[in-house]
Amino acid sequence: MEKLSDINSLTKKLKKINYLKVEKNKNLAEFASFKVGGPADLFLTPEKITAVKELMPLITNSTIPYFILGKGSNLIISDKGYRGIIIYTGSLNHYQFEGNQITAESGLELKEIADLAYENSLSGFEFAAGIPGSLGGALYMNAGAYGREMKDVIIKAQFIDQKGKLIELSKAELKLEYRTSILQKEDPDWTAVNVTIKLKKSKKSLIKAKMDELHNKRWSKQPMELPSAGSIFKRPPGHYTGPLIEEAKMKGFQIGGAQVSTKHAGFIVNKDHATAEDIVKLIEKVKKEVYKISGVQLEVEPRFLGEF
Ligand SMILES: Cc1cc2nc3c(=O)[nH]c(=O)nc-3n(C[C@H](O)[C@H](O)[C@H](O)COP(=O)(O)OP(=O)(O)OC[C@H]3O[C@@H](n4cnc5c(N)ncnc54)[C@H](O)[C@@H]3O)c2cc1C
């Protein structure tokens, strides 16, 4: 009860902030690429960075937990939802060019940035065109594909800390490594608001050809037609996840509506109205079977949100 009244008084204060949309009991499944997840108590959509600056001190002074949501393409959200506040970056999507550099707000989708780069004859971001995340989520994860990663293009990023202060970090300070960054390693609970990437001039025809090549590769090998969170496990050193799972005879294995993809065993897909519980049970089963035959301990790549 105490928490609810807390949320009510906090909501009143949040509603006074300009350029901030405040919603209650918002269903999260539509914001997750897996298409699973229950409601969040409070769902905030800042439309300008000033709104993030104002809201952060308010919510960090309350006892209510919060979570920053990008495109939800690397998340497994509990069927019970999230008892706290979601800060959704989807409306932070302004950008500007400066020579070969693009500075974009963290909610901008990687696909949009890849298209902008192409239109401006800038090469180096083709690898990210098929990753269905936001720029902030890609920074958090140091997302990568086909031998390239965000680390290759990011030069700096700006954050809002819990007091509402703007902080800028250089590339080295961002500590970008395989599928991780300072945001994961040190968990400062900052919201990334701007990221600057540096690309290089090239011919549009070459950029287009690279994007098409990677698009075709992705669609022929990965189950893009079904909801998922991408690779469900991190690549264990010295191994590939897909073959390990196949060896463990788990390819195509199904629990409830969740299935180990028949197209690529490294993906779990929401085949038929899966619940988060189905997905978690399937992850545990795959981990167990893979460990039994290979001794390899698989580590889940997506983040879990809410109670499991
Ligand atoms: C079909 C499919 C294919 C995929 N292929 C790839 C691939 O090839 N390579 C790859 O690396 N990934 C891949 N992914 C996974 C995913 O797209 C990436 O990890 C992506 O970077 C996640 O971004 P997001 O905006 O969706 O983050 P979310 O899922 O919304 O969040 C992920 C984490 O980032 C944090 N976060 C998000 N935005 C911010 C912010 N502004 N400030 C601070 N923290 C933030 C969240 O709090 C959360 O902890 C794939 C996913 C799918 C569904």
Amino acid 3: pLDDT: 46
pLDDT at residue 161 is higher than 80 = yes
Q: What is the pLDDT of residue 160?
A: 98
pLDDT grade, residue 4 (50/70/90)? very low
- What's the rounded Cα separation, in Å, for the pair 196 and 169? 11
Supply the pTM of this predicted model: 0.96
Whether 9 is a known active-site residue: answer no
Q: What is the pLDDT of residues 44-78, one digit of tens each?
A: 999 999 999 999 999 998 999 999 999 999 999 99
Task: Please indicate whether residue 207, judged by its CB atom, sits closer than 6 Å to ligand 1.
Answer: no
Cα distance between residue 265 and residue 292, in whole Å = 17
Pocket test for ligand 1, best of 74, 112, 152, 194 (most atoms within 8 A of CB): 74
Q: Residue 205: pLDDT band by 50, 70, 90 thresholds?
A: very high
Q: Average the pLDDT over 283-299 and give the result.
A: 97
State yes or no: pLDDT of 226 exceeds 70: yes
Across 129-140, average pLDDT: 98
pLDDT greater than 60 at residue 165: yes
Atom 49 of ligand 1: nearest residue by CA position: 303
| Residue 231 annotated as catalytic | yes
Q: Which residue has the higher pLDDT, 6 or 60?
A: 60
Position 5 scores a pLDDT of: 55
The average pLDDT across 3-18 equals 85
Measured between alpha carbons, how far is 266 from 232 in angstroms, rounded to an integer? 6
Q: What residue's CA is closest to ligand 1, atom 37?
A: 137
Q: State the chain's mean pLDDT as an integer.
A: 96
Ligand 1 atom nearest to CA at 224: 1
Domains assigned to the chain: 2-88 (3.30.43.10), 95-208 (3.30.465.10), 223-305 (3.90.78.10)
Given this model, what pLDDT does residue 1 score? 39
Strands (DSSP E) found in the chain? 20-27, 39-46, 66-69, 75-77, 82-88, 95-98, 101-105, 122-123, 144-145, 148-149, 154-160, 166-170, 191-198, 200-201, 228-231, 254-255, 258-260, 267-270, 303-305
Any atom of ligand 1 within 6 Å of the Cβ of 194: no
Any atom of ligand 1 within 6 Å of the Cβ of 269: no
Residue 232 has pLDDT above 70, yes or no: yes
Instruction: Answer yes or no: is the C-beta of 129 below 6 A from any ligand 1 atom.
Output: no
Q: Please report the pLDDT score of residue 6 as a whole number.
A: 79
Cα separation, 27 vs 43, in Å, equals 9
The confidence band for 113, taking pLDDT boundaries of 50, 70 and 90, is very high
Pocket test of ligand 1: the residue of 49, 111, 140 to mutate, having most ligand atoms within 8 Å of its CB, is 140
